[in-house]
Amino acid sequence: MARIEMVNVQKFFGQNQVLKDLHLTIEDGEFVVMLGQSGGGKTTALRAIAGLETVTSGKIVIDGVEVQDRKAADRDIAFVFQSFSLYPHMTVRENIAFPLRAVRMDAAERNRAVNETAETLQIAQHLDRKPSALSGGDMQRVAIGRALVRRPQALLMDEPLGVLDSKLREQMRAEIKRLHIARGSTSVYVTHDQIEAMSLADRIVILHDGVLQQIGAPDEVYLHPKNLFVAKFVGSPVMNIADVQIDGSDVMLKGVSTGFTFAESDLAGLAKSGAGTTLGLRPEAILLTHAETPGYAEAVSTNIEPLGSHDIVDVRLGDTILRVRTESGFVSGEGQPVWVGLDTAQAHFFDNKTELNLRGVA
């Protein structure tokens, strides 16, 4: 049980500011994923919550109590690292029991807690083995078990699946999520993998250059990115970006004579932006047809990536190459004429200067 708040947290490593006025609240029982590139500040934020890193200024509040000056051991928080950091000379049982020995729990109770944890994580059959005899997935299960056995208020995980292969990662991801649901403890999870974030999180916290970019549910972040960074960081293939001119209710791409017509209300206020506007389109927001269609612009296909379940088709529209998601085989090859339309409801506009989304920000 824990509600975690970071209030105006600043962190410097020497001259280098890695957290810039970070302000966020993680609700009790929530699964929050911190997402960003390396150097974005996500691991530092996690370590600051854990007490493994001091903060330069600002407060960290757990259940209403300021803890920024407390040691890690006094925060009742467990931490799982990417490197499993198990004791190689101890058995799995001894590794999991270790945090309980430190608090001098009696042997019978300790055994019960270890067995129960091992059961939950499906590693009961490995209890008397050494870590070196385990697979990568089982080692990480033991590391998670060691973190959970104390029943901490919150579980913090720093890329715990980063070193596992993709199949195992997918499986462990499901297990971590189910474990969270079963235990109901507050979880904070750091990753650079956007699919992992989208799949695990109740809410995603996106950090870039030490600045909080957006915090929101996975769908919110995907459908209503607050700025260009979030828009390009989440989603694969990346969102298409093009400079546009707005002319009444028409949106004009460079080198294209036909504009895309939007409802007037969609564009209200956009044209005023002096710095110019960037149009953002996810590959599924672009519609292709083979025949001339009113409101569509003529383009030519330049590349097809058949992926079996669907194709990614590159089309050249004026000066811009757009990546479009289509059903398999919809465009038969390169150099084909196609007509391009937009799903205007899924179009985003960003201010060229501030990079903020000018529309649909929840």
Partner 1 sequence: MADIALQGISKKFGPNTALRGVDIDIKDGEFFVLLGQTGAGKTTTLRVIAGLEKPDTGKVMIEGQDATRWNAAERDVALVLQQYSLYPRLTVRGNLEFPLKSRTQNFTAKEIKERVERVAETLQITRLLDRKVEKLSGGEMQRVSIGRAIVRQPRVFLMDEPLSALDANLRDVLRVELKKLHQELGATFVFVTHDQVEAMSMGDKIGVLDRGKLIQVGTPDDIYARPLNTFVARSVGTPPMNLIDGVLKASKAILDAGGQALPVSNPRGKDGQNIRFGIRPEDVVVAPDAPAEARIFDVENHGVIKILTLDLEGTHVHATVSAQMRVKIDDTVRFGWKPEKVLYFDPANGRNLSLS
Binding-site ranges for partner 1 (CB under 8 A): 170, 173-174, 177-178, 181, 195, 198-199, 218-219, 222, 234-238, 282-284, 303, 305-310, 312, 314, 325, 329, 334
**Residue 337 backbone dihedrals phi, psi, to 5 degrees:** -75, 135
Please say which residue, 124 or 217, places its beta carbon nearer to partner 1.
Answer: 217
Min separation Cβ 265 and partner 1, Å: 23
C-alpha to C-alpha distance for 324 and 237, rounded to whole angstroms: 9
Min separation Cβ 175 and partner 1, Å: 9
> For helices 107-120 and 136-148, what crossing angle results, to 10°?
130
Please say which residue, 120 or 277, places its beta carbon nearer to partner 1.
Answer: 120
Q: How, if at all, do strands 311-317 and 337-342 pair?
A: unpaired
Strand order in the sheet with 186-191: 77-80, 154-158, 186-191, 31-35, 203-208, 211-216
Please say which residue, 101 or 178, places its beta carbon nearer to partner 1.
Answer: 178
Min separation Cβ 349 and partner 1, Å: 19
308 neighbors 275 (Cβ within 8 angstroms): no
Please say which residue, 72 or 238, places its beta carbon nearer to partner 1.
Answer: 238
- How many distinct helices (H) and strands (E) make up the chain? 9, 20
Min separation Cβ 213 and partner 1, Å: 16
Strand order in the sheet with 337-342: 286-289, 337-342, 297-306, 311-317, 320-326
Please say which residue, 219 or 264, places its beta carbon nearer to partner 1.
Answer: 219
Residues sharing a CB contact under 8 Å with residue 170, sequence separation 6 or more, in sequence order: none
Min separation Cβ 324 and partner 1, Å: 12
- The DSSP code for 239 is P
Please say which residue, 55 or 304, places its beta carbon nearer to partner 1.
Answer: 304
- Neighbouring CB atoms inside 10 A of 199's CB total 14
Min separation Cβ 3 and partner 1, Å: 23
Please say which residue, 53 or 175, places its beta carbon nearer to partner 1.
Answer: 175
Min separation Cβ 199 and partner 1, Å: 4
- Neighbouring CB atoms inside 10 A of 353's CB total 10
